[in-house]
Every structure is written in C-alpha cells, then in structure tokens.
Amino acid sequence: MLHLPILQVVIPLMAAPLCLLLKRPQLVWLFALFVSTVAFIISLLLLQQVSTTGVISYELGGWQAPWGIEYRIDQLNALLLIIISATSTVVLIAAQTSIEKEIPKNKHTLFYILYLLSLTGMLGIVSTGDAFNVFVFLEISSLSAYSLIALGKKRQALWASFQYLIMGTIGATFILIGIGLMYQMTGTLNMEDLSQRLPQVAQTKTVFTAFTFIIVGICLKLALFPLHLWLPNAYAYAPSIVTAFFAATATKVAIYLLIRFTFTVFGLSFSFTTLPLQGLFLVLGLMGIIVASSAAIYQKNIKHLFAYSSIAQVGFIIIGLSTNSVMGLTATLLHLFNHAIMKGAIFLALGAVVYQIGNSQLVNFSGLGRKMPLTMAAIVIGGLSLIGVPLTAGFISKWYLLTALIENNWWPVAILILLGSLLTVIYVWRIVEVIYFKEPLAENTSVTEAPILFLISIWTLIIANFYFGIDTRFSVQLTQSAAQSLFGLSP
C-alpha cells in the first residue's frame, strides 16, 4: 500500500519492454489488458487512500522532497489517474479486433508497446510533484503519441503526425524554457517548494515570462483555440483505437497540467489577480466553442467532426476555469471526467464502423441505424450527452457550468454557452438524420453489427454515461472536494 504511487506508473512502464520479449501479438494484447486493469485497480486504491488519509507524498530514492523527486497524489491527481487508467482499459478491450484491420500484423506488438508507453507517460505526468519530471514524462507520452498516430493507414497520418511532432516539440520546449526561468528565480524544481518560494519573486519580469511560456506551452498540447490546428488531422487519421484513447485522455492531461500550474505552482492570486488570465481563458474558450462547433457542422468525415467537437469541448472546460470559483472548477473537473466517457464511447463506436465498412465518411453512415443498431445507438447517445440532455453525464457538467456562470452573474456568457450547445445539436442531428432516415448505400447492404468485444467496450462507456448522469454522488463529491482543496478550502 505504501508504494502504490510509484507502482501506478512503474507497472505499465516495465510492462512495455516485457512486451518486446513476449512477441506473440495475441499474448501481448492480453498482457497489456491485464497491466492496464492492474493500473486501474491501483488508481482506485489510491483514491481510497487519498480520501481517508489526505495527500500522499512519496519520495523517490528515499531522498527528501526538494532534493529528490517527489510523487504527490491528492484528489485531483487521483481523479485523473482513474480517468486515464479506466479509459485505457476499456479501450484496450476492443483494441485487438480493431487493429487487425488497421495495422499490419508485424507491427501489432510494437503498437501495444507504444500504447503502454503512452499510458505510462500520462500517468507519470499526473503523478509527479516535480516540474522537470513533468517534462520528461510529457516527452514519453508525446513521442509514443507521434508514433501511434503515424501508424494510421492513410498517408495523411504521417503528415498529421509530423505536424503534431513540430507543434508538440515547440510546446514542450516552451515548457522547458518556463521551467528553467522558474528554477533560476527560485532554485527549486519541486512544485510544492516552488509554490512557497514563487510569491517572494512574483513581481519580477522573469517569473511573468516563465508563467507565460509554461501556459502557452501547455495550451499548444491542449489544442486550445487558436493553437488547435494540429488536432483534427491527428485524430482523424490515427488508428481508431488511438483516437479513442487520446480523445478521452490526452487533452485531459494537458488540462490537468494547466490547473496544476495555475492553481498550485503559481497560486491563485498570481494567476488570476495579477495577470489577465481569467479574461483570456473566457474569450479563447468562447471563441473555441463557437468556431470549432461551426467547423464541426461542415465536416464530411465523422472523425473530423468529432475532433472539432473535442476542441469545442475544451472551450467549455476552460470557461469553467475562468470563473475562478469553486463551482466553476467543479464544473471543469466534472466535464473532464464526463467528456472522457462520452468521447471514448463515440470514437470507439466510430472505430467499430471503420472496422465494418472501412472508412468514416458521413455518407457511408446512411441507414446504418438498421444494420448496426447497437453501435449507432451508442453514437447517438454519446451525441446527446455532448449536447447535455438530462439523464446523461453531459447534462450534469453543463448544469454545473451554467450554475457557476450565473453565480458570477455572467449572463451573456451563459447565453453563448447555450448557443454553443445549440450548434452541438445541429451537428449531432446531421448524424442522426443520416443514420436513421436514409437508405443504406448499395455497397453497405451486407454490413452487420460490430464484433462483440467492440460492443462490450462501447457499451461499458455508454452505461457509465447514464450512470454518472443519474447517480452523481461519486463524481460530484470527488470533483467538488478536489476543487475545494485547490482553492485552499478544506472540504
């Protein structure tokens, strides 16, 4: 129990090279699934430990915190760890079936190794309490992400991956510059230590620059409007399984970093009072919602459509942050959680379609409602959840967001948010129309329902979607107390 924080990261990490020794793809898949499940169980145990004993600090190498590297788990970390490891496990269930048709056979083992490394990277970013260690694990997750995206079938995947590599590396280097300047002003890399030493030098120009570089770097990774250009193609051309995994987790990790740096490391008063970050987030978030949702309406490829929708959803999440209130932050965290569930389900369902008909052009979805009823129902339910229809998880987070906005008396923003949801209705309706009210294309008449492993993983997420839309005790309690502790209030 004592070593859970490190085991969380090291088990998938060590499993990756082991896969190389196992060789047989089928075996590697089962092994990866097993490892991911173990990681999920550990994250649940960690959450339980955090809620009973409070923040867990783990000193790596037995060296005390500012000298050695520290793993620090509080409720926010635990929440993220659960999101990542849970979606990774569910997605992996369908992985073997899906990559059969999308990735050449001799690369299956490598695919799972990269998948596990990417999981490791994300878990490492979330667990660590050391600013430089964040950079190292960020690179593990990024390098594996570039390779995974490049495994896509089309040649556009290569180009998307290259663009992502350039943007991602610029982002990571910005973060590195920021960390360096911060270190130069304080002499420490430990986040907790930084948060205590930064206020003394908060008025300096250097710290301002450091802050800007870190935030811009993270926003590049986050695909916050207008730094989102790499995302749609990366999501659309990556293998379906990779898209499902990243759509559910990658941006979430970046948002976690944003929250960690603005709330914990630099501190609230610096981030939101000294600097105009609040207004900036609000404007960029709103523009992101409107622009990306409008772009989504015109997409011909459903993967592109939902990729733009992901950019829009980042907007909702950022607006929650900009309210600078416990309620708003709760909404942000809730939406992190819920969005992971719904986007995971939607992209998995799209993966099932690609498995059956070979592509994800909207036209090809005509009449599939009768051919693949369970998969199509999942896409529609996921879409309803994106809109925020009651009884789905999406409703809960939208509700909290609106409450937070109204608490702040930001009526115009609330109205714009509703407008954004209206745009969501439009693009979801386009899909519903094609699926249920059109005749199937001639070449798709013999299409059948997706394989059982696909259905299991899709419907696990869909049921979770309903569950967290109805019984909100777990998600709301957890996010609320995480938000409170970030604001320095005891829960």
Partner 1 sequence: MNDLFAVVMLLGIYSLLSASFFVAMDAVDVAFTEAAVGAGISTLLMLVVITMTGRKENTKRHKPFLALIVVIFTGGLLLYGTFDIPHFGSADSPIHNHVTPRYINDSINEIGIPNIVTSVLASYRAFDTFGEVVVIFTAGIGIMALLSVAHHSEDNHKIAAVNDSMHERYLVIRIVSKILIPFILLFALYVQFHGDFGPGGGFQAGVIFAAGIILYSMLFGLSITRKVISQPFIQIISAVGVLLYGSVGLVSLLQGGNFFDYNVLLTDPVAGQHLGILLIELGVGCTVTSVMIMIFFNFAERRELQQHNNIHNKDLES
Partner 2 sequence: MITGLFNNWIVIVLMMSGLYIVIAHGNLIKKLIGLSLFQTSVFILYISMAKVEGGTAPILAENIKELSNPLPHVLILTAIVVGISTTALGLALVIRIKEAYGSIEEEDIQILDNLPQSKTQKKIMDGEQ
Scanning 76-84, 143-151, 281-289, 293-301 for contacts with partner 1 by CB under 8 A, the matching segment is: 143-151
CA–CA distance, 343 with 252 (Å, rounded to integer): 12
248, 91 in Cβ contact below 8 A? yes
Q: x-or-dash pattern for partner 1, window 444-463, by CB under 8 A?
A: --------------------
Q: At what angle do helices 131-150 and 156-186 cross, to 10 degrees?
A: 180
Scanning 202-210, 378-386, 421-429, 479-487 for contacts with partner 1 by CB under 8 A, the matching segment is: 202-210
Scanning 44-52, 208-216, 237-245, 409-417 for contacts with partner 1 by CB under 8 A, the matching segment is: 208-216
CA–CA distance, 359 with 350 (Å, rounded to integer): 9
Nearest to 103 by CA among 330, 416, 355: 355
Give 152 or 394: the residue with its C-beta nearer to partner 2. 152
Phi, psi of 130 (to 5 degrees): -125, 130
* 158 token code pair: 């290569």
* 133 token code pair: 């260690």
CA–CA distance, 312 with 309 (Å, rounded to integer): 5
Scanning 91-99, 199-207, 280-288, 344-352 for contacts with partner 1 by CB under 8 A, the matching segment is: 199-207
Contact residues for partner 2 (CB under 8 A)? Answer: 132, 135-136, 139, 143, 146-147, 150, 152-156, 158-159, 161-162, 165-166, 169-170, 172-173, 176-177, 180, 183-184, 189, 236-237, 301, 303, 354, 358-361, 363-364, 443
361, 371 in Cβ contact below 8 A? no
Binding residues for partner 1, total number by CB under 8 A: 62
E strands along 224-286, which residues? Answer: none
Give 235 or 316: the residue with its C-beta nearer to partner 2. 235
User: Does position 208 bind partner 1 by CB under 8 A?
Assistant: yes
6 binding partner (options partner 2, partner 1, none; Cβ < 5 to 8 Å by kind)? partner 1
Give 115 or 459: the residue with its C-beta nearer to partner 2. 115
Q: At what angle do helices 4-22 and 108-127 cross, to 10 degrees?
A: 170
Greatest Cα pair distance in the chain: 70
User: Does position 73 bind partner 1 by CB under 8 A?
Assistant: no
Q: x-or-dash pattern for partner 1, window 32-71, by CB under 8 A?
A: --------------------------xxxxxx--xxxx--
CA–CA distance, 406 with 192 (Å, rounded to integer): 33
- Compute CA 355 distance to the chain's CA centroid, rounded to the nearest angstrom: 24
E strands along 211-291, which residues? Answer: none
CB of 50 to partner 1, least distance (A): 19
Task: By CB under 8 A, name the binding residues for partner 1.
Answer: 3, 6, 10, 13-14, 16-18, 20-21, 58-63, 66-69, 106-107, 110-111, 113-114, 117, 120, 124, 130, 132-133, 136-137, 139-140, 143-144, 146-147, 150-151, 177, 181, 183-189, 197, 201, 204-210, 212-213
